[in-house]
Chains A and B, each alone.
Chain A
Amino acid sequence: MSEKELNKFGEGVGFERIRRITGYLVGTVDRFNNAKRAEVNDRVKHGV
């Protein structure tokens, strides 16, 4: 294998998930406090 195939990037890097709380967007769910994190987990989608 070539060097470029052996060189790996992104180990341990998660996906960013932008969500809206209290009107503001937040870059990623990691920054939410525990209560808001629980709320985001509970959210169900609304049918159209």
Chain B
Amino acid sequence: MIFTVKKRDGREMPFNIEKISDAIIKAFRASGELKEQIKASQDQIDLLGHEDLLSSTALKVAAYAVGRLEAEGKNKPDIEEIQDAVEKALTECGYGDTAKSYILYRAERTRIREVNTRLMHTLRDITFSSAKESDLKRENANIDGDTAMGTMLKYGSESAKHFYTMMMLKPEHSRAHSEGDIHIHDLDFYSLTMTCCQIDLKKLFKNGFNTGHGHLREPKDIRSYAALAAIAIQSNQNDQHGGQSIPNFDYAMADGVRITYRKSYLSNMVKALILLTGKTEEEIQPVVKKLHTEMAEMGMVATLVPNEKFVEAEARELSKTFDAETVMKAQKFAEKMAYEETDKATFQAMEAFVHNLNSMHSRAGAQTPFSSINYGMCTEPEARMVMKNLLLTTEEGLGGGETAIFPIQIFRVKKGVNLNEGDPNYDLFKLACRVSAKRLFPNFSFQDAPYNLQYYKEGHPETEISYMGCRTRVIGNNYDPTREISYGRGNLSFTSINLPRIAIKMKSVDLFFKELDRMLQLVSDQLMERFAVQSKRKVKNFPFLMGQGVWIDSEKLGWEDTVGEVIKHGTLSIGFIGLAETLVALTGKHHGESEASQELGLKIIGHMREFCDKESKRLGLNFSLLATPAEGLSGRFVRMDKKKFGIIPGVTDRDYYTNSFHVPVYYKISAFKKLALEAPYHALTNAGHISYIELDGDPTQNLDAFEKIVRYMAEVGIGYGSINHPVDRDPVCGFVGVIGDVCPRCGRSEGHAISEAKIEELRKLYPGMPVFRGVR
């Protein structure tokens, strides 16, 4: 006799035959096998409910199953044994269809259980391992996986991924993703939002804005301009999963400098007149203020570089009250003081801006906002003052001399504006090189590259090329060719293709292209599926992005309207990684080693771009090709391919696939050759690209070489590039620069201690030294 059963977790429970018959009833209902008989029995005997036939049959089958178990001597069966017996009992009693639906039911339960177990394993890993041991926790280097909020974010993210894979993705997309043919980026946000946006600060500031927790007035000072810029980035970051970019930092901040100068000029004019005439503030202030207000109404205002119209009119009017010499003296004083004060205020504003972006929180405190700012081409004196001070504060570093991680700064380079001697912003280009040589930022974007220049209209900053930190580029607009601008637009979602796998599987070039086409179509369909989900979201789901009119045309929508139409301005991007490994798999050599491989590489990437253009036409949307940054992905694809195909030299023999179209990082090549080889791919990857050069030593000691590389980028048609070099810091003494084994300032080696006496001695030499924890 069976008295107990063994549950899956090992516990023993009292045996209950009804539990078995309940499961059998469900299987009968699913198969419909007893339907006819039930109907017949209902017609015959109304008194006996039809449920009774079902229950009694189920009970009979259950009893038969139990009999089998007992005959086999299984007196303490486990769940699997019971289910096996039920399956056999159903078949042997002649209910074949029901047996089938019972098997299906079992398989489905097993699948859900496995998924849940996998999810639980993942959650356990997140809970109990530190980021040091858990690769999962270091998936994104800018999120601190060790903190409470970082962990909570990870729980949500991993659970969401499980949910979407199980319930929302089409099975073929889900399979392609989990098997590593493709990678759906930011899957945890699948149904929630879009990737990123280029925020037009000028438009946002015009009438002030609301963060959802209160209205902020139009700013009236460069300091509040900079503070609000940081708040705008922070607020928008919470509505999207990607980074936030300001395409017009120079133009937008210039307005703040103008207002600050005007106010400072007024107050200094008042001060000067008080001092020179001996009159009181009450007598002077109202007169000057009234005059300035009236002049402003006629379009005459004080400007950073004094304009004749204002200076003359002011002198004429003030001379009616004060003597001419006093007025002239006062004007000179006010100009000088206002300039100095504005310059100082602008520096402080930029310093606070950088500090804010490195310390303010987004996403429940797990990270700082991913922010990028573009600037470089505005030649107004006010904008130049902004850029100069931003660069200077970046050069100085944060409070303890640390290199600022955010914002990513992108200096826009253009001939006739800043690239060459004699250009109005040439001094700023030089400064940008100097700062980048020390602090890794700014990166450089190139307005004159033909594929960027084609959109540029002078006097329309919205047509200048912008990049978002991770390289995203949104400018062309197939959906609405009259709006080929960067402002208010961004990427909707992107999915990357595992190129090396196609090459490993197909071996021949012809077959490679066939399989590539299949994969491209699969990704396009998947992007469209996601687009349909995103389109149903409403303005209220994005209180800042859509609610405050940051996204293009969203200001025309109501709170309950769906965003489907306006997000058509965004891009759907198909990405790729590992072109180098792909070429090795197909030809034995990558594009750094062989011209033929370079030719094939361009053919492959060119083909992918053609596909994107075709899809854009067919669907009336913006499909674009992305040189995928691949942070988490670089390891994921190759790990899976190693398992599938083993170690293939030059293809799967490292722990990462090479970034997009890059020449492999381990390959010895000159900076110039690398740039020349990579530039043609920039022209093809219209969703974004970046090229890196690795420099040895401390480039601040060789600024000429640094500048030469940037100029060469412009010459060969790179769209976006940056130069890497070691930036090390000793947190004990605060030294920033290249540190080998020993810190050049305090002489300690890694992990070793120095004495308090030594620290005191160093502080005399370097008063700005940070105070290390525990030092008095």
A positions within 8 Å CB-CB of B: 2-27, 30-36, 38-39, 42-48
Contacts and interface: CB of A to CB of B under 8 A. Distances in A.
B774 interface: yes
Contacts of A32: 138, 141
A30 to B, nearest CB: 7
Contact of A4 (B440, B722, B756): B756
Nearest to B708: A48
Contacts of B408: 23-25
A45 B696 contact: yes
B632 A33 contact: yes
Given A18-B727, A19-B724, A48-B709, A33 B668 contact: no
B634 interface: yes
Contacts of B696: 45
Nearest to A35: B635
A2 to B, nearest CB: 7
Given A15-B739, A31-B138, A33-B135, A48 B695 contact: yes
Given A22-B631, A31-B131, A48 B760 contact: no
B655 A38 contact: yes
Contacts of B757: 2, 4-5, 7
Contacts, number: 174
Contacts of A21: 141, 631
A18 B440 contact: yes
Given A10-B753, A48-B705, A23 B470 contact: yes
Nearest to A29: B141
Nearest to A6: B755
Interface string B728-746: 1111100000010001000
30 contacts: A4-B760, A7-B755, A8-B755, A8-B756, A9-B753, A9-B754, A9-B774, A11-B752, A13-B751, A15-B739, A16-B728, A17-B739, A21-B141, A22-B659, A23-B469, A23-B471, A23-B690, A24-B469, A25-B441, A32-B138, A33-B635, A34-B655, A35-B638, A36-B635, A39-B655, A39-B656, A39-B665, A43-B724, A44-B694, A48-B670
B726 interface: yes
Contacts of B705: 48
A26 B403 CA distance: 10
B667 interface: yes
Nearest to B630: A22
A46 B669 contact: yes
A23 to B, nearest CB: 5
Contacts of B668: 44
Nearest to A33: B138
Contacts of B635: 33-36, 38
Given A6-B755, A42-B654, 9 more contacts: A3-B756, A8-B754, A9-B775, A17-B726, A20-B440, A24-B408, A24-B470, A45-B695, A48-B695
Interface of B: 131-132, 135, 138-139, 141-142, 144, 370, 402-403, 405, 408, 440-441, 443, 469-471, 629-632, 634-636, 638, 654-656, 659, 665-672, 674, 690, 692-696, 705, 708-709, 722, 724, 726-732, 739, 743, 748, 750-757, 759-760, 772, 774-775
Contacts of B775: 9
Nearest to B137: A33
B469 A7 contact: no
A9 B772 contact: yes
A44 B443 CA distance: 20
B751 A14 contact: yes
**Which of A11, A27, A36, A46: most chain B CB closer than 10 A?**
A46
Contacts of A3: 756
Contact of B141 (A36, A43, A44, A48): A36
A46 B631 contact: no
Given A11-B752, A33-B635, A48-B671, A24 B370 contact: yes
Given A33-B141, A34-B635, A43 B756 contact: no
A42 to B, nearest CB: 4
Which among B655, B692, B727 has the highest number of chain A CB atoms within 10 Å? B655
A29 B201 CA distance: 34
Contact of A43 (B632, B694, B728, B751): B694
B415 to A, nearest CB: 22
B406 to A, nearest CB: 8
A31 B142 CA distance: 8
Contacts of A36: 141, 631, 634-635, 656
* 3 shortest interchain CB distances as A-B pairs: A35-B635, A22-B629, A8-B753
A43 B695 CA distance: 10
Nearest to A39: B656
A29 to B, nearest CB: 9
Contacts of A30: 132
B671 A47 contact: yes
A25 B759 contact: no
B629 to A, nearest CB: 4
A35 B440 contact: no
